Amino acid sequence: MPGGHGMSTAVGTRDFLLPDLGEGLSEAEIVEWRVAVGDVVTVDQSVVEVETAKAVVDVPCPYAGRVVALHGAAGEVRPVGQPLITIAPLDDAPDPHATYREEERAGSGNVLIGYGTGHGGSGRRRRRPRLALAPEAAPASVDPARTGGPAAAPLVISPIVRRLAKEHGIDLASLRGTGPGGVIRRADLDAAVAAAAPAARLAAVPDAPAAHVGLAPAGDGDTVIPLTGIRKVIADKLSRSRREIPEVTIWVDVDATGLLETRAAINAATPEAPVSILALLARICLSGLRKFPQLNAHVDTEGQRIIQSAGVHLGIAAQTDRGLVVPVLRDAQRLTTRELAAALAETTAAARAGTLPPARLTGGTFTLNNYGVFGVDGSTPIINHPEAALLGVGRIVDKPWVVDGQLAVRKVTQISLTFDHRVCDGGVAGGFLRHVADCVEQPALLVANV
């Protein structure tokens, strides 16, 4: 059904389907409904807040009318392409299909990544049957062939729940659903997985890879954490990076005393708009990529080619309560240093709050990772696939350093560059890292190159 929109089985009503929320995201958890059954909504009004593995987003509805059904409760995981809300026309309103077409021609402005009321459909996703969650209607919506039993079998709506139950060897008939009408939700399944006996879990997966045979089972008191949500996204992406990218890491110690002094001077002159060390490091990265554009690239394995990006879409690794995310500053080379500082502060705060839209978490061409905030000196990080390079910065600490032949105490840090050896050789990588190091030690060189 194009663009996440669908026709309901009830005459005159429209089902709005959960749209595609971004790269690699096939489901979302309902956080909070913004409307209730009986409410009147307008085109592009936010109707529900959902959480994906990458962000929390408000979802606007492309239809106007009265809410007649909400599909799913808070805490329930909904797959992309299944109904979220059903809208009926008001008694005195024109045909809802005509209303939608007028809004479509007008170019409705409230667009979420992956869909929009101003776009025609590709028809790539078939509409699934509308799922009624009312307790009295729930038994009729159960497909015996899909649940593995007669209509009296457990109420399972989500195909994800069925798939995960099969993978973990969980008998759905043994679970008590906490969803509307007794529907078994993903939270019910996760609880069962965590509580299941180790032997039962292993025996329930007859097709487990041979590599699992020698693994020690979970013992009494062990904590079992299902690899789902953002942890699964991170695991899949990093595993793919390690499989596909022949990465190399080089590093150097640098005297950052001059960089700290430069930041202090800038902030003393304009305290109303402070500049962070991260912003200065980002400016140095942009200068380096201008000189060594080979690192602002990715490898197209299918096309057997290297694509150097015209703009620098700078990713900033940020640790959040939900896991590691890499929000992206698009066309960062167009920003001044103060604009970089403001954008970095806003972006990292939104990332930690989980309010960045999925579009801000994809499409990077180069990543800056300040792992020094964790109190470590060095790292050999994994490249953020499909990018070709990542600059890492360790903590800045007092260390003995030779200056003009004399031993002195200086502010020293270690910087590292992890790069895809397919896009360049050591000369380019070493040249970039040396440029960064020189600009950190002598910020005047940065001014000469921007």
Q: Which residues are identified as catalytic? A: 421
Q: Is the peptide bond before 386 cis (omega within 30 degrees of 0)?
A: yes
Contact by Cβ (8 Å): 115, 3: yes
- In 287-433, at which residue ranges do the beta strands (DSSP E only) sit? 297-300, 305-308, 314-316, 318-320, 323-325, 328-329, 366-369, 389-393, 397-403, 406-420
Task: Determine the Cα–Cα distance for residues 54 and 374; give it in Å rounded to an integer.
Answer: 22
CA angle 85, 88, 94 (to 5 degrees): 135
Number of H helices, E strands in the chain: 11, 20
- Do 286 and 332 contact (CB within 8 A), yes or no? yes
Residue 12: left if φ>0, alpha if ψ -120 to 50, beta else—which one? left
321 backbone φψ class: left, alpha, beta (φ>0; ψ -120 to 50): alpha
Q: Dmax over Cα atoms in the chain, in whole Å?
A: 87
